[in-house]
Structure 1
């Protein structure tokens, strides 16, 4: 099994709390990525999208579920794939830091291993391109 990493580091002229809110809200996160995303389990914390919440990405049998495993408002979101998928040992981490002039630095990393040989590179490329395309929408959506 091969390991893969996606590493995206971008800065935006948008306040950190607004950028965090865009990533934290599952339905808005879906709009950012351009994919259907629905919260299927609420967090037991104050924010229903927080720690322990589960979101479903995609449509029907080609979708997958992700569970939020770390949620620190305006700072970090971590999630992992918790349904059947062609990848394993998945960890998504999104860190939010202040940038110059009231902006926000977003550092988004994903690590995973492929379960089906030779699919990891294709999945890595598709995720990287999709996330980079979505992240460019932050100034319009936040």
Structure 2
């Protein structure tokens, strides 16, 4: 079965450095993602949250371990799932671009489904999680109301 990709985009009324730092600094996740815990298990090679860093995200029974695979502040980072979620070969990238009056946050995750049911269910769950992260960051930095009006754009590619 082919790789399934979900991409979520959201305008955030804050500079890219602010948005990127909230995502890259795993200790900040508990501030903007209410009820979500995150901690660094291992530091990265050139930066504590950079390439090679391993972070734990979530709360049992839905918790994961992720390794940072690319780190280019304040523009982008990528990570891969090590353990914890039922998604085979899950990888994601986060890009923050400067736009007028703020940032465009693009969060894309992909996985290889093991069957058709996982393909649909995994994509739905991933879309909900990534969308929730984007809305939570927007609310945290700009008092955004989180409405799904003109600022959330999603796409799923098989």
Q: Provide the TM-score with structure 1 as the length reference.
A: 0.84
Q: Which residue of 2 aligns with 1:26?
A: 26
Q: Which residue of 2 aligns with 1:127?
A: 126
SS of 2:133's partner is helix
Unaligned ranges ≥5, structure 1: none
Once the two structures are TM-superposed, the CA of residue 119 in structure 1 deviates from its matched residue by 2.0
Once the two structures are TM-superposed, the CA of residue 133 in structure 1 deviates from its matched residue by 2.2
CA RMSD of aligned residues (A): 2.1
Contact 1:4–1:111 under 8 Å retained in 2: yes
Residue 37 of structure 1 pairs with residue 35 of structure 2: no
SS of 1:124's partner is helix
Contact 1:41–1:54 under 8 Å retained in 2: yes
Residue 53 of structure 1 pairs with residue 59 of structure 2: no
Unaligned ranges ≥5, structure 2: 142-158
Take 2:128 and 2:14, find their aligned partners in 1: how far apart are those partners? 22
Q: Provide the TM-score with structure 2 as the length reference.
A: 0.77
SS of 2:88's partner is strand
Q: Which residue of 1 aligns with 2:148?
A: none
